Amino acid sequence: MTPAYQAVQSGHVAIQFQYDYPDIAKTWFENSNYLIYISVENEEQLQVLIKKLKKANIKHSIFRESDINNQITAIAIEPSEKTRRLVSNLPLMLKEYNLFNKLDKNTFKKEEESYV
């Protein structure tokens, strides 16, 4: 997924989480406001993470993108120490695959133009 597409998917799921868990979102907004964007390589790895979240009873929201056959493209996870421990081994979004080094400047320019 391109950086712009990842950003859009992250926005979708953040709003979904606020809708699914308004009390958790309100507490987070009033007390923390920290966001951490992490990444996995593909949808299969997202599904593995979702299974771990369910097993640990950690609240989360899932976003499926209708434009790509309802694939899971992003999840939002409730903030907690349990969550931190579960995802601490995952790389930060965009950093792990050296995405910025693989894409040339024209790629970013084309993406920006398509959203204007």
**How distant, in Å, are the alpha carbons of 13, 24, 58, 107 from that of 111?**
21, 34, 34, 6
Q: Could you count the other beta carbons within 10 Å of the beta carbon of residue 25?
A: 19
> 111 or 86, which is more confident?
86
Residue 114 has pLDDT above 80, yes or no: no
Average pLDDT over residues 37-49: 92
What is the C-alpha separation between 43 and 21, in angstroms, rounded? 23
Q: How confident is the model at residue 4 (pLDDT cuts 50, 70, 90)?
A: confident
Tokens of 108: 């970013």
Domains of the chain plus CATH, in order, are: 3-109 (3.40.1490.10)
Look up the pTM and report it. Answer: 0.77
